[in-house]
């Protein structure tokens, strides 16, 4: 929760500074550039930025122009903020905020920088969030190009996430369900309607940037992980703590080490994202147009 520039999140062993004044400076800049008021945010993962082609853009801003905004150094993350709408026939979405790319924890070593877009979205008034990523498939039933609706998350990056929550109802829960049930059901209905297979699975966050070893994948498979990647979990965690309704969707961009005998490269991840972007974009379009 960011209420003023002096507030911080507390972890079990101290505190992690969440610089509310830095977020506010970014918000103030946006307010000067555009009066657009988004209600849904989308974070697009590696190679998935082509969804932008379907958006009627009201404003487009480079991350580098926004004060304090973290900038990705990874190929496939364009680093743009898009405000606009999705249209299909007579249908029009509610106002959108799209992050064309993200910063990973391994790029900065800072949870604050990784989670910055979530706090930024919250301060802009975002109530719903769709997080996407390119992930390695571990489940034997997954193929390259498959889409997976994330059911649960696992943090094996061994990065401590601070414990805090601005919602008294959430603090009383014995078990956190990080993803919104209604949004998940809507995603499944949309996928069924347009006949795009949408798997269900558990997503595991590892710190990266190196890919997993076959031994690591064997371990993850044994403990029930379906897909693995280097992002998403911090954003999901903080979105949940802020009361933002969230779903996560993974594109299986490669089969993980030991599942496939092929050598893994980030270039291949990007190529898969681009190749499968039409199917991904179609599903995203239907989900966004169905949200109110």
The reply to whether 134 belongs to the active site is yes
The reply to whether 104 belongs to the active site is yes
The reply to whether 266 belongs to the active site is yes
The reply to whether 9 belongs to the active site is no
Catalytic one among 46, 93, 250, 253? 46
Catalytic one among 72, 93, 121, 231? 231
Catalytic one among 1, 266, 282, 290? 266
Q: Tell me if 152 sits within 8 A of 202, measured CB to CB.
A: yes
The reply to whether 1 belongs to the active site is no
The reply to whether 106 belongs to the active site is yes
Catalytic one among 85, 106, 110, 216? 106
Catalytic one among 93, 104, 199, 241? 104
What count of other Cβ atoms lies within 10 Å of the Cβ of residue 115?
25
The reply to whether 254 belongs to the active site is yes
Catalytic one among 72, 139, 254, 281? 254
Choose among 288, 167, 150, 132: nearest CA to 238.
167
Catalytic one among 107, 112, 212, 285? 107
Catalytic one among 134, 135, 183, 227? 134
Catalytic one among 230, 239, 256, 257? 230
The reply to whether 166 belongs to the active site is no
By annotation, the residues acting in catalysis are 46, 77, 104, 106-107, 134, 230-231, 254, 266
């Amino acid at each position: 929760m960011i209420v003023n520039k002096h507030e911080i999140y507390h972890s079990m062993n101290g505190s992690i500074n969440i610089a509310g004044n830095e977020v506010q400076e970014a918000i103030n800049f946006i307010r000067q550039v555009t009066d657009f008021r988004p209600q849904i945010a989308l974070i697009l993962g590696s190679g998935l930025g082509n969804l932008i082609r379907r958006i009627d853009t009201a404003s487009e801003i480079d991350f580098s122009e926004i004060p304090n905004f973290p900038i990705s150094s990874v190929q496939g993350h364009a680093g743009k903020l898009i405000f606009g709408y999705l249209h299909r026939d007579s249908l029009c979405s509610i106002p959108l905020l799209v992050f064309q790319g993200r910063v990973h924890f391994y790029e900065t070593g800072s949870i604050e920088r990784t989670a910055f877009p979530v706090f930024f979205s919250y301060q802009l008034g975002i109530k719903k969030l769709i997080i996407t990523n390119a992930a390695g498939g571990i489940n034997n039933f997954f193929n390259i190009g498959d889409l997976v609706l994330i059911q649960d998350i696992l943090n094996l990056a061994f990065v401590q996430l601070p414990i805090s929550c601005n919602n008294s109802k959430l603090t009383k829960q014995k078990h956190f369900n990080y993803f919104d049930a209604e949004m998940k059901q809507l995603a499944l209905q949309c996928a069924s309607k347009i006949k795009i297979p949408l798997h269900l699975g558990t997503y595991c966050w590892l710190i990266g940037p190196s890919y997993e070893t076959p031994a690591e994948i064997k371990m993850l498979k044994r403990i029930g992980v379906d897909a693995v990647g280097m992002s998403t979990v911090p954003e999901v965690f903080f979105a949940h703590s802020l009361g933002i309704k969230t779903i996560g969707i993974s594109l299986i961009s490669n089969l993980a080490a030991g599942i496939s005998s092929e050598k893994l490269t980030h270039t291949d991840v990007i190529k898969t994202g681009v190749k499968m972007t039409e199917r991904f974009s179609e599903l995203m379009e239907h989900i966004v147009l169905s949200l109110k």
